[in-house]
Amino acid sequence: MKTFKKQILLVAILFSVVIFAQKEEIKAAGKALAKNNFTEALASLNKVESMLGNLDNKTKAKFYFLKSKALNGSGKVTEAANIINELMAFEKKIGKEKYTKEAEPMLQELIQKLRSEGIKEYDEKKWSLAKNTLAQVFELNALDTSFLNYAAMAAYQDKDLDLALVHYQKLNKVGYTGITTNYSAINVETKKRDNFSSKNEMDLMIKSKTYIDPKTEVLETKKGDIIKNIANIYLEKGDNEKALEAIYNARKESPKDVNIILTAADIAYKMGKNEEFITLMNEAIKHKPNDPVIYNNIGIVSRVEGKNEEAKKAFKKAIELKPDYKEAIINLADTELRREDVIVKEMEKNMKNFDKFDALKAKQLELFREILPLYEKAYKIKDANYSKNNEKNFLKTMMAIYENLEMYDKMNEVKAFSDSL
| Residue at 29 is within a domain | yes
Positive/negative CA dihedral, 355, 360, 361, 363: positive
Is a pLDDT exceeding 60 seen at residue 223?
A: yes
CB atoms within 10 A of CB 368: 18
| Residue at 98 is within a domain | yes
Local confidence band at 22 (pLDDT 50, 70, 90 cut-offs) = low
In this structure, what CATH number is given to the domain that contains residue 32? Answer: 1.25.40
| Residue pLDDT, tens place only, 68-84 | 787 777 777 778 878 88
**Residue 12 and residue 75 in one domain:** yes
| Residue at 205 is within a domain | yes
Final residue in a domain of this structure, among 189, 224, 259: 224
Question: Can you give the pTM of this predicted structure?
Answer: 0.58
Distance CA 121, CA 154 (A): 9
* Beta strand 211-218 pairing with 181-187: antiparallel
pLDDT at position 53 is 63
**Residue 104 and residue 130 in one domain:** no
- Cα–Cα distances in Å, from 63 out to 74, 77, 94, 101? 16, 17, 15, 16
Local confidence band at 179 (pLDDT 50, 70, 90 cut-offs) = low
Final residue in a domain of this structure, among 54, 80, 108: 108
**Residue 8 and residue 96 in one domain:** yes
pLDDT at position 56 is 76
**Residue 220 and residue 149 in one domain:** yes
CB 414 within 8 A of CB 398: yes
| Residue at 164 is within a domain | yes
| Residue at 46 is within a domain | yes
CB 226 within 8 A of CB 172: yes
| Residue pLDDT, tens place only, 373-408 | 999 999 999 888 888 888 999 999 999 999 999 999
Q: For the chain, how many structural domains are there in total?
A: 2
Is a pLDDT exceeding 70 seen at residue 54?
A: no
Mean pLDDT of the chain: 84
pLDDT at position 81 is 79
Distance CA 209, CA 377 (A): 49
Final residue in a domain of this structure, among 164, 193, 224: 224
Query: Which strand (E) or helix (H) includes residue 406?
Result: none
**Residue of 108 and 371 predicted with greater confidence:** 371
**Residue 181 and residue 127 in one domain:** yes
Is a pLDDT exceeding 50 seen at residue 152?
A: yes
- Poorest-pLDDT segment among 11-15, 258-262, 344-348: 11-15
**Residue 19 and residue 70 in one domain:** yes
**Residue 62 and residue 158 in one domain:** no
**Residue 92 and residue 134 in one domain:** no
| Residue pLDDT, tens place only, 291-315 | 999 999 899 988 988 899 999 999 9
**Residue 132 and residue 64 in one domain:** no
| Residue at 96 is within a domain | yes
Is a pLDDT exceeding 60 seen at residue 12?
A: no
**Residue 148 and residue 215 in one domain:** yes
**Residue 96 and residue 159 in one domain:** no
| Residue at 116 is within a domain | no
CA 344 to the chain's CA centroid = 47
pLDDT at position 5 is 45
CB 195 within 8 A of CB 211: no
**Residue 99 and residue 157 in one domain:** no
Cα Rg of the chain (Å, integer)? 33
pLDDT at position 222 is 66
| Residue at 220 is within a domain | yes
- Identify the CA nearest to 343 among candidates 361, 324, 329: 361
Is a pLDDT exceeding 70 seen at residue 1?
A: no
User: pLDDT exceeding 90 applies to what percent of the chain?
Assistant: 37
Range of the structural domain that residue 52 is part of? 2-108
The mean pLDDT of 250-276, rounded to a whole number, is 83
DSSP 183: E
- Cα–Cα distances in Å, from 314 out to 136, 282, 286, 339, 414? 46, 11, 14, 17, 28
